[in-house]
Amino acid sequence: MQRIGRIVIALAALFAMISVARATTPAGGVKVLRVAYNEDVSTFDPDDAIILFGLDAARVLYEGLVQYRPGSTEIEGWLAKSWTVSPDGRTYTFTLRDGVTFHDGRPMTAADVLASFTRRRSPNLPLSYFLDGIQNMSAPDPRTFVITMTTQQPAFIDRLASPWAPKVIGPGALVDHAGKDQGVGWLNEHADGTGPFSLVEFTRGQRYVLRRNPSYWGAPPYFEKIEILIVPNVGQQMLMLQRGELDILEHGYPFDQLERLPAGLKLDAHDALSLEMAYFNRTKALRDPAVREAVLTAINPDGWLADAFGHFATKARSLYPKAMLGAPEPVRFPTDFGAARRIIAGAGPISLEIGYTDEEAPVQQRVAEFMVSLLKQIGVVATVRVIPLDQESSLINDLQHAPDIWLAQDYPDAAHPATQVGVFFQTDAALNLFGYSNPQVDSLAARAAEMTDVAQRDRTYVAISRILFADRAFIPLADIKDVIVYRDSLVDLNTRPALPWAVDYGTIRRR
Amino acid sequence: MLLYLAKRAAGLVGVLLAMSVTLFALQDIIPADPARAAMGPNAPRMLVEAKRRDMGLDQSVVTRYCRYMRNVTRGDLGESVHTHNPVVRDLAHFMPASMELALTALVLGVSFGGVLAMAQAAGPRVDQALRLALIVATSAPIFLVGLLLSLLFWYRLGWLPGGGRITPDDFRLGPTGFMILDGILSGQGRLVANAIEHLLLPALTLALPIAVAIGRSLTSSLLDVYRQSYIRTARAKGLTELRVLLHHTLRNAAGPALSMLGLQVAVLFNNLLIVERLFSWPGLGLYTVQAFAAADLPAVLGVALVVAVTYLATAAVIDVVRAILDPRLGLR
């Protein structure tokens, strides 16, 4: 027994020594920023995938021609110091910055931009559609890059400012490591861009390391190194943040804990481009317009928004996020609960299923729980179904077995309303999950996409929103803010509405 | 022995074939869309259809299955939708972490189980205390045990790391992917110590149910054997208690515990998914979770095949060890 006691004491002493040693070692040092992603970045190849986790790393590895300004959806030059648009709106001429080099030291020229854009247009690359409608591209001199469109597309410049826009990739990747797959294999876990950081380590499942690019053309970043750890459990990320093992938690901090953050932590809550929407599946219980009206009365965000998200969300004014388009009047939901009860009582027993993806569960579970409770008040029995993210796009294949109400907070490609309509609302749009189709909407969308007068354009898009809401096909619910929690020693995060779950690693610094 | 191994290999092939058929059939039923997952949520439907053709998803499930199996025989498990790498390469990357964790958990579990059993067999006072401890340990779900260990030893006391496989500053990718082995091979003692530190909490979490199961099974076998007349004879001949235990008791009592170990290996693989997520362990569990989220069917199939092969191989090894310990059992 005494021997066991001695062993226990010895082990305790050993652990204590380890913990003291660890406590006296600064976590990563002053010039290292440590963040965590919930999952691996599938690829850092800017042309090969839509990524959410990893966008902030991707944008300091690669740069595009233009970008959105911090805190806004205004567009500014990036690798292009300026650009002009021809009077017919079809030709964009970009003048490139001087003194830009790739991570391997080679100078960037217009020929590199042309090579990168040519690669992006390869139909076998998933993001090729960003450059749809281009008639011709050329690099008449080393500092000039010209794009000619087949028709005028005012949203084109927004597509170039999108987080998933084409970026300029160096010849180190596109020539030296081109292989037989246009460099796809190499670029999967390597990077060759012009950004303020270079990718020095990519270990799937564990961590990625970015190191400051000493020959960067712009202001040098404060941090010498960014360490990105893969920590799938948000709860563990929160504890790591509190212990000082992480500097930033970029996504997933529970809303109900944001009001009482532990000492030493701050939050940045900013508008995002993702709108909280409900899709109505109008083929089952919601086929009846009167039932739709009654259900709409119950799920009115006025009844649950403040309780669910506090001051981190506002009621939506249209089917566009407010960072994209400020609609003049709020959406009007019916408010007569008595009438709603009478409709449901007359329609017979109504049961509805509310669905959302597992990936959005932290947000949608809160919304769905409130909706279930409110629907019960009008006599509707509602249940909740969570489905894997990979099955969301297949809902359209079997509407009879799809949920009646689908909750989602998806991202359009860019901050132009055309991308919102093109991704969600038009016939055959990628995220038109229940197959809604309205020729009037398609026609208005086609006209709006060519408008250059912003006021007229916005009026047209608001009109589209009203039609969609009047049809009770898409229900705008809320603008929920993107919330980033970070250690209070950090400043200059420079978040952007169009850049989900991301800070600017190029400007962030420690006080 | 050779006949036994041949039978086992044939059984393995049969199981793998049955499993691959089942998984392929399930793929066809589950409404996941690998083409959409590969192209991204916002890609126009036309591009997704083109990708679907490119991936061969427009072909019948039989055609796809035959092509898959043909490739498997060449060592090609396809390309992961999520990581865009060959699945074989991904498995080689993620598997060592899981294997290192699983092996450590097994060693800890068997050791603790053995100590528990011998302590229980030693006397009734210890038996009562341990019985209570066993009930508590078996009642708690594994995620709760892991969470409590993590909160106590990492968050509160700061004695051990709460997640990951290595402290980043010490990280060096070695030739085998087994951190401890790589540390020894490269002569980096600090790396070995760091890797062990990171292993302790997840391995302990995984080891507890194994220890309890092995401990219970071994205890009852030991008590049975201790009642045998040859043990009385051994003691009467003046053998020390340790010699009686090691040479006469343990060897004869190990059979049921080994059978239990075989069952625990299957439980261990299931628990790996939970524990790897809880401790951010970069193994097959993390790979599988990410693969599911991305409709990454080649990756899911690859993991299923690897786990099945590992489990069946382990079961075969356990059978051989049992037969060596007790030749009456033989190899059937």
Give me the sign of the Cα torsion angle B278, B282, B286, B288: negative
pLDDT of residue B331: 60
Scanning the structure block, which residue is given the tokens 């401990």?
A: B215
Q: Quickly state the pLDDT bin for B246 (edges 50, 70, 90).
A: confident
Give the dihedral of Cα atoms B236, B239, B243, B249; nearest 10 deg. -10
Q: In angstroms, rounded to a whole number, what is the distance separating the alpha carbons of residues B234 and B237?
A: 5
Angstroms from B223 CA to nearest CA on chain A: 23
User: In this structure, what token pair is assigned to residue B259?
Assistant: 């059978």
pLDDT of residue A45: 95
- CB contacts of A126 in chain B (<8 Å) are 38-40, 43, 47, 51
Across the interface, whether the CB atoms of A15 and B159 are under 8 A apart is answered yes
| Mean pLDDT computed over every residue of chain B | 85
Decide which of B33 and A398 is more confident.
A398
Q: What confidence tens digit (pLDDT) does each residue in B158-180 have?
A: 999 999 888 756 666 678 888 88
Once rounded to an integer, what is the mean pLDDT over residues A31-52? 92
User: In this structure, what token pair is assigned to residue A190?
Assistant: 């390597």
pLDDT of residue A26: 43
SS3 label, residue B14 = helix
Q: Quickly state the pLDDT bin for A493 (edges 50, 70, 90).
A: very high
Distance of CA A98 to the CA centre of its chain: 31
User: In this structure, what token pair is assigned to residue A390?
Assistant: 């990979």
Mutate to test the interface with A, among B28, B30, B39, B42 (most CBs of A within 10 A): B42
Give the dihedral of Cα atoms B293, B297, B301, B306; nearest 10 deg. -50
Once rounded to an integer, what is the mean pLDDT over residues A106-121? 97
Q: What confidence tens digit (pLDDT) does each residue in A43-88 have?
A: 999 999 888 889 999 999 999 999 999 999 999 999 999 999 999 9
SS3 label, residue A269 = strand
φ, ψ (nearest 5 deg) of residue A228 = -110, 115
SS3 content of chain A, % helix, strand, coil (to 5): 35, 20, 40
B235 touches chain A (CB under 8 A): no
Q: What is the pTM of this model?
A: 0.88
Q: Quickly state the pLDDT bin for B324 (edges 50, 70, 90).
A: confident
Q: Residue A25: pLDDT above 50? A: no
pLDDT of residue B330: 64
Q: Quickly state the pLDDT bin for A318 (edges 50, 70, 90).
A: very high
pLDDT of residue B81: 87
Q: Residue A245: pLDDT above 60? A: yes
Q: Residue A14: pLDDT above 80? A: no
Q: Residue A11: pLDDT above 70? A: no
Q: Residue A5: pLDDT above 80? A: no
SS3 label, residue B43 = coil
Mutate to test the interface with B, among A15, A184, A206, A279 (most CBs of B within 10 A): A206
| Nearest Cα residue to A63 out of A119, A112, A121, A118 | A112
Once rounded to an integer, what is the mean pLDDT over residues B126-138? 69
Exposed / middle / buried, residue A445 (Cβ in 10 Å: 0-12, 13-18, 19+): buried
Q: Which of B47, B280, B287 sits opposite A236 (nearest CB)?
A: B280
Q: Quickly state the pLDDT bin for A223 (edges 50, 70, 90).
A: very high
ipTM: 0.85
A133: left (phi over 0), alpha (psi -120 to 50) or beta: left
Decide which of A100 and B44 is more confident.
A100
Once rounded to an integer, what is the mean pLDDT over residues A245-267? 93
B115 touches chain A (CB under 8 A): no
Across the interface, whether the CB atoms of A243 and B155 are under 8 A apart is answered yes
Give, as one character, the DSSP assignment of residue A288: S
Lowest-pLDDT choice from A11-25, A398-412, B91-105: A11-25
| Total H helices, total E strands in chain B | 14, 0
Q: Residue B273: pLDDT above 60? A: yes
Task: Give the rounded percent of residues in chain B with a pLDDT score beyond 70.
Answer: 93
B155 touches chain A (CB under 8 A): yes
